[in-house]
Amino acid sequence: MDEILPYGLKNQLKVFVLAFLVLGITQIILSAIRQHMLLYLSQKIDIPLLLGYFKHVYKLPMQFFTTRKVGDILTRFSDAFTIKNVLTSISLSLIMDVILATVSAVILYIMNSTLFIVIAILTIVSAALIYIFKEPYKKINLKQMEAGARLNSHIIESLK
C-alpha cells in the first residue's frame, strides 16, 4: 500500500485486489469440496463401523460384560468414531494438501527460488520436530483417553 498509492500504481492495486479475490474464492471452493467429501466418506464408513462394532459386542461372552464397566464399552465405541473421523479427515486433507503444496511450491520456485529454498528448509525442520515429539504426544493422548474412559465409567456407574 505504501508503495502503490504514493507512486500512482493503481493498476497494481487492481491486480492485487483481483488476486486476493481469486485466492479467497479458491479457498471457499476448496473448503466446500473438502467438507462435501468428508461428509460423503463419513456416511459410507459410519454404518459399517457401527454395525461391525455391535456385531462384535454381541458375540462377546457374558463374562466379558461382568468384568467391564458400561462406560468402558461405550468409551471404546466413542473412540472408534473418533479414530474414524481422524482417519477420514487426515486422508482427505493429506491428498488435497499435497496437491496444493506441490502446485504452490512450483509457483513459488518459478517466482522466487531463494524463498522456495527457505520454505523447503523450514518444512523439513518442522517435519523433524513433529517426528521428535510424536511419542510424547502419543503418551499424553493415551493418558487423556484413559482418563476419559474412567470419567465416563464413573458417570454411568453413578447414575445406575
Longest CA span, the chain: 82
Dig out the grid coordinates for 60 from the structure: 462377546
CA distance 143 to 149: 10
Residue 75 corresponds to which cell in the numbers above? 468409551
The mean pLDDT of 50-67, rounded to a whole number, is 80
What span, in angstroms and rounded, lies between the C-alpha atoms of 81 and 42?
10
Q: How many domains does the chain have?
A: 1
Give residue 1's pLDDT. Answer: 53
In a domain, residue 3? The reply is: no
Q: How confident is the model at residue 135 (pLDDT cuts 50, 70, 90)?
A: very high
What pLDDT score was predicted for residue 94?
84
| Higher pLDDT among residues 7 and 28, named by residue | 28
Nearest-angstrom CA–CA distance, 109 and 103 = 10
> Is residue 4 included in any domain, yes or no?
no
pLDDT score at 110:
93
For the chain, give the percent of residues with pLDDT over 70: 91
Query: Structural domain of residue 137, as residue ranges?
Result: 10-159
Least confident range of 1-5, 67-71, 77-81: 1-5
Most confident of 6-10, 59-63, 67-71: 59-63
Q: Per the domain annotation, does 2 fall within a domain?
A: no
In a domain, 43, yes or no: yes
For residue 94, the domain's CATH number is 1.20.1560.10
pLDDT of residue 3: 64
Check residue 21 and give its pLDDT. Answer: 94
Residue 125's pLDDT band (cuts 50, 70, 90): very high
Q: Is 21 within the bounds of a domain?
A: yes
pLDDT tops 90 at residue 74 = no
